[in-house]
Structure 1
Amino acid sequence: MDERRLDDSEMATWLPTIRFVQLLPQVLDRTLKAETGLNHAHYAILITLAGRGESTVTMTELAQIAGLSRSRLSHALDSLEERGWVVRSSCGSDKRTLSATLTPAGRELLRSAAPVHVAQIRDLVLGPLTDEERAQLGAILTKLIPGVTAAL
């Protein structure tokens, strides 16, 4: 096996994977912006915060969960905070550690954006697959995520 080149079988898997991984965020971003004025990265941050209920999330946790660098996260949170959708505060015991919380306005925005996002995910990703294929895709991605996360 040539270590410098993917074989035909590997290439047949890799090319559609990379194409899908590159295209999906662009399509999701374009639709969310057009329908709600919110980009996909901001939506991911807001939905992550919403999943925590009333509790706060530290910047480190949020960056890991949302898959963003700390600088990109900071820039995104600046924008979300300016719009009144997120509030940042220092953690009680360690003033150097910042956390973020979703505001009521942020929750309302998510209520209007979620149906757009969910419909698109169903249309582009889940709908074309059978139940068995969805389970396989979930299992495959769950198996691959730790390696990618560890490489960050």
Structure 2
Amino acid sequence: MLKRALLTVAALTLPAAPASAQMREAALPEIFESYNDCFAATESGAISIASLESNGWARASMSDGDGEKVEGGPIIYGHTERAPLIILNETEGAGVCMVNARIKSFKVFEEFKAAFGDRLPKPDDEGSITFFADGQAVQMAPTGSREAPALRVAVLTPRKSS
């Protein structure tokens, strides 16, 4: 089940990658605040749009080249006071809340990771680190490129034991 959810995380990163090149760089405190907002929006076992909105997040709308609103597509939330974006795979029920942030350098990712101390497992071959925090699966990874470094932190809603 966790493996399938993490594949969902990987699939969500594809539409977000081009957007990260257009985003302004996020400061480390903004990334932590956004991560905490994702954690709060998923801790009940279901995605909570109300939780995100009460923390200042608003859903972005998409438009085509003519300015016409486009329905469907990724579920993206922005915050007027922070650079990271939040991307959801669902608007209700179980799901993934992902913080996508452009960063100054990959050193920022190392600083973010260091804040968790020595409790984190070693990264996989792609640099992703998957762990549990209060029963919720979390995956963090450096993304982007050398020219446009970014990081991704995905928080999955907790799964109930059967």
TM-score (norm 2): 0.27
The higher relative CO (CA closer than 8 Å, separation ≥ 6) is in 2
Larger radius of gyration: 1
More strand by share: 2
TM-score w.r.t. the length of structure 1 is 0.28
